[in-house]
A and B are shown apart, each in its own frame.
Chain A
Amino acid sequence: MKSSIRRSRRAAVAVALGSVLALTATACGDDGSGSAGGKGGEGSGKGTITFWDNNGGVRTDVWKEIIADFEKQNPGIKVTYVGVPAASVQSKYDTAIQGGGLPDVGGVGTAMLAEIAAQGALEPLDSRLAKSSLNGKLNEKFLESVKSAGGDGETYSVPTSANNGTLWYRTDLFSAVKLAPPTTWTNFYTAAGKLTDRAKNRFGYTIRGGEGSIAQALDAMYGQSGITSFWNGDKTTVNDPKNVTALEKYTGLYKKDTPSADVNNDFTKMVAQWDSGTIGMLSHNLGSYADHEKALSGKFRGIPNPTLDDGTRVQVSNPVDGLGLFKSGKNKAAAWKFIEFAASHASNSKWNESAGQVPANDEAAQDAWVRASEPTKLAAEALSGATTKIVQLPYYLPDWNTVSKAGNEPNFQKVLLGKMTAKEFLDTLADQLNKAQADWKKNH
């Protein structure tokens, strides 16, 4: 009896051990399909390709329209659409790079381009672009941004659109007290003060103190200091005395002309607060246009960031969105056809009209809807205007996302709360950036 129990135990142990080993073996094995190391292939130019939308949900409908148009024009190719929530797209890519299952084509913004390209997942596109019908039709500045963000001089994505920092302001409130539009920083600060009436819960401005605060603070800081380059040699200019003064003035608005709850503002809270309250101005980007239109139709305008008094506009670069071709794809010819189609005049125009953003295709940027949508038109003019200087943020640094987000957002909150000075904050930021730049230079 005992020996039979022992035998069955042994058998159970053997089965369990075998299962573990089998699962471990399958887990460790990698046939290269769809992971970063996979070589992929050109394929026949027909068949099924997978496309990951990096802003799934809100843009799903317009992508499905574009895909339907593409499939009609290319009957041999079927595109499988996968909408990935914007907040989780980086982790989805990272998991697929390590574990397999990368798509053939994916939406990749400049903010995450360096990290994905550094893992060897994306195909360089310069030679394909040179031979493409898109050659010469894409906005040069957007192409430069994409190339710079890749980190090694190669172009890893075809730009499709750009966002731009926008100062949204309430025209009804400005008219009521006869204020000039906040087109200059001087006008901006005057309006912020005059529109504030704390007793009536009215504020001139809402500041972003929570998630995403750093990029917005940098935009305001460089915009006022007039410094036009992020680097001075190998050292960053973020803690330049002019920037320190500008940041002190900007953060000085907190609680004086802004709600005190702003210290926790991410874009969702900030936009919701502006749309439902009596706040004069909001700095966000073109993306919230539809939300403002729903809540405040006819009572607001969106203009590019204020200029210096001499009319010079300095602003930081905003992420340029684009489409990347993944190295592991087994049908790159078909995938490239889809990218070309999506970045072509008609599709690019359709997509950007739906998103309210600036088209990367120069022909699409001339379309009537761009002229009719004032915030988009002004943003497009600002982005290509001679008096606009764009400070290129170092998206190419693999540490950029950490440094500009979780790494320093708590410190920015300390500045707002008066627990840290603007200089201390910027010195800390500068140290981290200089180190990240030095590390990057070692490898490039």
Chain B
Amino acid sequence: MITEIAPAAGPVVTEPARPGKKRRAWDEVPRWQIYLPLGIYLLFTLIPFYWILLFALRPAGSTSLVPWPVTFEHFHKVWTERSFATYFTNSVYVGVSTLVLTTVVALAGGYALARFDFRLKRGFMLALLCSQFVPGALLLVPLFQIFAKLQMINSLGSVVIAETVFQLPLSMILISGFIRNVPYSLEEAAWVDGCGRLTAFRIVVLPLLRPGLIAVGSFAFVHAWNHFLFALMFLSDQSKQTIPVGLNTLMSADSVDLGALAAGGIIAAVPVVIVFAFIQKWLITGFSAGAVKG
């Protein structure tokens, strides 16, 4: 019989009770001393976003500081004339494929790192960490040659593989941290109940890793979504290019259509914002649970 274990939502961070005196002191802080700095910070952060919205929504040639009358001509232009519909689809393909591939492989690698002792394990971990110091640009030529030999140039698969390879080291380290936090005894209990290693992992460990998987997956997705270099180098056909490359094509050597660029920027940002809005709870829990523990 398998003991059912309720999925944990990650470690519960309980705020230590503040002594009464301190709480009163906190409560006595005038609200403006909290909200004013926060407001200034928010203003500082949001003004550039407002500026992008302004350029995207006001008509070409307008110098108004408010986007009125509102126009969607720039969005229409980039979506239809500048092929952003195609770039968007390609970016979704690259982002989701990288997410899935990175998470699956990192899960397997992370499990091995967390649960098995093998020769040169420390060296392997060190190599994983060191690989983070190698910039992607340094590996462009060898990667290009490998993909050319594999007939994968101008295929979205090449970008997915390159992105996954660069995401894996950090993802594996993070996932191994999450897995270490799951008591080994839970898996052992599942084995005693007749599960194999894989079934025990799927039924017992995997549900507990949800925050970690979401953190790693979203990190992989956002990185692949925003990354420019591999898409630029490995893809040639316009029908294969991704959003970051598309955004760059809106800036010519001596002329920039700022309205189109702003609209393109918003189209590029929306999926990332939506992803973060949905997963922020899991993301914070995930990173705090796994990132700092080895």
Contacts and interface: CB of A to CB of B under 8 A. Distances in A.
Nearest to A278: B63
B144 interface: yes
A294 interface: yes
Nearest to B228: A88
Interface in A77-93: 80-88, 91-92
A82 B237 contact: yes
Given A98-B141, A101-B153, A276-B63, A58 B148 contact: no
B31 to A, nearest CB: 35
B63 A81 contact: no
Interface stretch (A227-235, A280-288, A361-369, A377-385): A280-288
Interface stretch (A128-136, A196-204, A265-273): A265-273
Contact of B258 (A30, A92, A267, A272): A272
Given A95-B233, A101-B144, A26 B149 contact: yes
A57 B248 contact: yes
What is the interface of chain A mostly: helix, strand, loop, or mixed? helix
Contacts of B256: 268, 271-272, 291
B227 interface: no
A359 interface: no
Contacts of B251: 57, 85-87, 268
B254 A285 contact: yes
A386 to B, nearest CB: 27
Contact count band on B: 35 or more
B149 A29 contact: yes
A82 B144 contact: no
A183 interface: no
A29 B142 CA distance: 10
A86 B253 contact: yes
A295 interface: yes
Contact of A99 (B144, B150, B249): B144
Contacts of A86: 251-253
A163 B153 CA distance: 34
Contact of B232 (A80, A88, A101, A163): A88
B254 A288 contact: yes
A55 interface: yes
B236 interface: yes
A421 interface: no
Contacts of A272: 256, 258
Interface in B21-43: none
A213 B178 CA distance: 50
B254 A163 contact: yes
A237 to B, nearest CB: 27
B255 interface: yes
A284 B82 contact: no
B245 interface: yes
Contact of B248 (A81, A87, A163, A271): A87
A290 interface: yes
Contacts of A297: 61
Given A268-B256, A287-B254, A291-B255, A95 B144 contact: yes
Contacts of A99: 140-142, 144-145, 148
Interface in B230-264: 232-233, 236-238, 245-246, 248-258
B155 to A, nearest CB: 13
B249 A56 contact: yes
Contacts of B232: 84-85, 88, 91-92
A60 to B, nearest CB: 7
A253 B240 CA distance: 47
Given A26-B146, A88-B232, A82 B238 contact: yes
A60 B252 contact: no
Nearest to A84: B232
A290 B256 CA distance: 10
A95 B249 contact: no
A63 to B, nearest CB: 11
B248 A58 contact: no
Interface string A211-255: 000000000000000000000000000000000000000000000
B236 A55 contact: no
B250 to A, nearest CB: 6
B60 interface: yes
B252 A59 contact: yes
Nearest to B236: A82
Contacts of B250: 57-58
A11 interface: no
A295 B58 CA distance: 12
A17 interface: no
Interface string A83-121: 111111001100110111100000000000000000000
Interface in A25-44: 26-30
A95 B253 CA distance: 20
B249 A57 contact: yes
A100 B148 CA distance: 8
B245 A27 contact: no
A111 to B, nearest CB: 9
Nearest to B119: A9
State the 9 A-B residue pairs at the shortest beta-carbon distance, nearest first: A287-B254, A57-B249, A85-B248, A99-B144, A58-B252, A86-B253, A26-B149, A99-B141, A82-B236
Given A57-B248, A87-B248, A294-B60, 19 more contacts: A26-B150, A57-B246, A58-B252, A59-B252, A60-B249, A83-B238, A85-B245, A85-B251, A86-B252, A86-B253, A92-B232, A96-B144, A99-B141, A99-B142, A99-B144, A100-B144, A268-B258, A271-B256, A291-B257
13 contacts: A26-B146, A57-B252, A85-B251, A87-B251, A87-B253, A91-B137, A92-B232, A163-B254, A268-B258, A284-B254, A291-B256, A294-B60, A297-B61
